[in-house]
Amino acid sequence: MTTVLKNDLLLRALRRQPVPRTPVWIMRQAGRYLPEYRAVREQAGDFMSLCSNPELACEVTLQPLRRFKLDAAILFSDILTIPDALGLELYFETGEGPKFRKPLRNSSDIRRIAPIDIESRLQYVFAAVALIRQQLAGEVPLIGFSGSPWTVATYMVEGGSSRDFPRTLGLAKEQPALLDELLSTLVSKTTNYLNAQIESGAQAIQIFDTWGGALEGDDYRRYSLEPMQRILDGLIRERDGHKVPVILFTKGAGERLATMADTGCDALGVDWTTTLAEARDYTADKVALQGNLNPAVLKESHTAIREGVAGVLASYGTGPGHVFNLGHGITPDVKPEHLGVLVDAVHELSPAYHSE
């Protein structure tokens, strides 16, 4: 695909090149806060039916771009498509989040998934990427994504969402080599999955390490950071003559941002528990930074939202390399017009921080 991008601010910012204003996109920008999304999800019947239908996934990916002047689209999918394709049978229960009918409970479970070829089972994702690129017609770039091996592994071992990961942390303590084996399988599957997204048209990639912050010290490096490093080392980093930037986002990374910056990634997502000023110090401007307004601010007044945007922009300061985003995904109880206030504020206030 060689369509010329009409708006390449995101890609330029991720490469730390000068831009006239700070680009903005929002994690979970296609989601339940939008009434048009809820209508399509009802039409689909359930979440996985929506994810696995390329036409409907394309439709909900494009919905926020029709409302807001965003600088990127992000593929509508889920971080748990890989374990679903590995036969764990993903499903969702209202109010309880994702669950697996066949979680990994022993070494036999973990070893049986290694030889499974998932690419044919995930063709619906790659078809959606290609369709979205076609429909975008070069308006803005398309971001593809995956979960990190550690984050995905926690769901696979726990059988669903967890607050304290007793089974997974128990595995790390009692059978660390077996956990390494699972993570190695996920590194291979995820690398192939992301490369197929890139080959289908994704122009940037984000890896969501939602639960890396639950690990401490050497365990963080072994089970969270190193698997992501191995994925980075195996990714297609240039396509159609253009660099494919990679963003790593670890919730609660804090000072670990300094180590993450040495992985070879192009950008780091920062949650709201670390200021962007601190993050710039930690990373010594080696990488671009993305973030990091607290999503809760979007439930406040228009004035408070504008003040929140101003604070984030001031915290990053002048110069290239900032992508405005929330410090985590937008929540379903946000009024759509409040996101419009945020986007307009970024457009209005950010040029003062750029010399172009």
Kindly report, residue by residue over 191-207, the tens digit of the pLDDT.
Answer: 999 999 999 999 999 99
CA distance 259 to 277: 17
DSSP letter for 20, please: S
Residues 6 or more apart from 87 whose CB is under 8 A from it? 102, 113, 116
Active site residues: 28, 32, 41, 78, 155
- Both structure tokens of 74: 């992000």
pLDDT band at 93 (very low <50, low <70, confident <90, very high): confident
250 is in an annotated binding site: no
Q: Helix (H, G, I), strand (E, B), or coil: what is residue 156?
A: helix
Q: Which helix (H) or strand (E) holds 343?
A: helix 336-349
Residue 356's pLDDT band (boundaries 50, 70, 90)? Answer: low
- With cut-offs at 50, 70 and 90, classify the pLDDT of residue 296: very high
- Residue 246 scores a pLDDT above 90: yes
Q: How far is CA 93 from the centre of its chain?
A: 22
**What is the CB neighbour count within 10 angstroms for residue 288?**
24
**Per-residue confidence at 2, pLDDT binned at 50, 70, 90?**
low
List the beta bridge partners of residue 290. 269, 323
Confidence of residue 97 (pLDDT cuts 50, 70, 90): confident
Q: Which two tokens stand for residue 102?
A: 């066949």
Please enumerate, as own/partner, the contacts of 33-36 that have beta carbons within 8 Å and a separation of 24 or more: 33/330, 33/331, 33/332, 33/333, 33/334, 33/335, 33/336, 33/339, 34/63, 34/64, 34/67, 34/336, 35/336, 36/63
Domains with residue ranges and CATH for the chain: 9-353 (3.20.20.210)
Phi/psi region, residue 149 (left: phi>0; alpha: psi -120 to 50; beta: rest), is alpha
Does the structure show a pLDDT above 60 at 180?
A: yes
Is 29 known as a binding-site position? yes
Tell me if 118 sits within 8 A of 193, measured CB to CB.
Answer: yes
84 marked as part of a ligand binding site = no
**Is 78 marked as binding a ligand?**
yes
Statement: residue 233 has pLDDT above 60: yes
Please report which confidence band the pLDDT of residue 344 belongs to, taking 50, 70 and 90 as the band edges: very high
The torsion angles phi and psi of 354, rounded to 5 degrees, stand at -130, 140
Least confident of 90-104, 118-132, 160-174, 254-268: 90-104
Buried b (16+ CB within 10 A) or exposed e, 154-183: bbbbbbbebeebebbbebbeeeeebbbebb
209 marked as part of a ligand binding site: no
